[in-house]
Amino acid sequence: MTALVTHLKQQQLLPTTRQQYVSITNRIGNHDPVEWLKGQLHARPPIGTVLPYRAAVKHLLVSEHGYTEDELKLLLPKAKGRPTAFRHALHPEALAVYHEVVDGCPEPSRTLLHLLPKTGLRISEACGLERNSIQTIQGQRVLVFRGKRDKERVVPLTASAEKTLQSYLSTLESARWLFPGNMGSPITPHAVRKHTRKMAEKHGDLAGLSPHILRHTYATLLVARGVDIKTIQQLLGHESIETTSRYLHPSISDLSRAASRLELE
């Protein structure tokens, strides 16, 4: 498995992505990777599950068996699966409840969780922020960091997000990481998710809450304010605009307003 790990690092994938792919390939065991993948696809899992399966097998075949990209196009089955279940963003009332509840979390989770729906960061990106990630470019306060596939990302800070960070920084001791964890390391996504799970269990308005839902919420708020999809794509750090489009679901309020137009006829 050493060749696979080395290959994944060379691809500049996020540590969480590399761990996911290694975990998937461990499940293959002594089975033929392609036949194993076909068996998984036969069960018609959600497309969000299929894509990591196929990617993991692809990386395994390249690193361990020397296949080329052209060979893999012919060898690997296409990724087909059920549409991923609809994930609601937090509506404005639930978002207000969320920010109120988050105030009860300990630092640094408190500030990080306040920041997620204001920036749209992936949880892995937020946890990996360094103190010097906060910069000023052309008079605008921004977050600058390495995102997915180690690409530089620049995310502007709203006035609200900047205020949240300034209050937090005034109490933060000198450290490399913006959100430090234990033993000189940054806080982990797992530690943050524990808080969102507890909030989801205790508050009905926050059912299903997760860091990814907060990313959906950020995108939904941008859509509601008329931001175009190409700009949203850049803010979310997506390579493909098709990925961005999956975040842009109309809210129940949007659907209700659309349906109510029938009453005007």
Q: Binning pLDDT at 50, 70 and 90, where does residue 86 land? A: very low
Could you confirm whether 114 is annotated as catalytic? no
pLDDT of 214 = 95
Query: What residue ranges of the chain are covered by domains with CATH 1.10.443.10?
Result: 92-255
- Crossing angle of the two packed helices 47-65 and 2-10, in degrees rounded to 10: 110
Say which range, 126-130, 161-165, 187-191, 229-233, has the weakest mean pLDDT: 229-233
Among 66, 52, 54, residue whose Cα is nearest residue 4: 66
Three-state DSSP state, 143: strand
Distance (Å, whole) CA 11 – CA 60: 13
Could you confirm whether 246 is annotated as catalytic? no
Q: Per-residue pLDDT for 84 more than 60?
A: no
Strand partners, 192: none
Catalytic residue among 114, 215, 216, 218: 215
Distance (Å, whole) CA 213 – CA 190: 15
Distance (Å, whole) CA 245 – CA 235: 13
Mean pLDDT of the chain: 85
Q: Per-residue pLDDT for 264 more than 60?
A: no
Among 166, 66, 37, residue whose Cα is nearest residue 114: 166
CA dihedral 29, 32, 36, 37 (to 10 degrees): 120
Q: Which pLDDT tens digit goes with each residue over 139-184?
A: 999 999 987 777 788 999 999 999 999 999 998 887 899 999 988 8
Amino acid in the structure at residue 210: S
253 or 102, which is more confident? 102
Q: Per-residue pLDDT for 261 more than 70?
A: no
Q: Binning pLDDT at 50, 70 and 90, where does residue 133 land? A: very high
pLDDT of 255 = 64
pLDDT of 174 = 76
Catalytic residue among 91, 141, 193, 212: 212
Overall CATH class of domain 92-255 = mainly alpha
66 or 126, which is more confident? 126
Catalytic residue among 87, 146, 148, 193: 148
Could you confirm whether 203 is annotated as catalytic? no
Distances (CA, A) of 248 to 51, 61, 209, 229: 20, 34, 18, 9
Distance (Å, whole) CA 37 – CA 176: 42
pLDDT of 103 = 95
pLDDT more than 70, % of the chain? 89
Distances (CA, A) of 238 to 2, 35, 230, 231, 265: 29, 31, 10, 10, 41
Question: Is the Cβ–Cβ distance between 219 and 90 less than 8 Å?
Answer: no
Is this model's pTM higher than 0.85 or not? no
Could you confirm whether 193 is annotated as catalytic? no
Could you confirm whether 238 is annotated as catalytic? yes
Could you confirm whether 176 is annotated as catalytic? no
Q: Which pLDDT tens digit goes with each residue over 24-56?
A: 899 888 889 989 988 888 877 766 677 888 888
pLDDT of 254 = 64
Distance (Å, whole) CA 153 – CA 233: 12
pLDDT of 83 = 55
Count of CB atoms situated within 10 Å of the CB of 155: 21
Strand partners, 186: 180
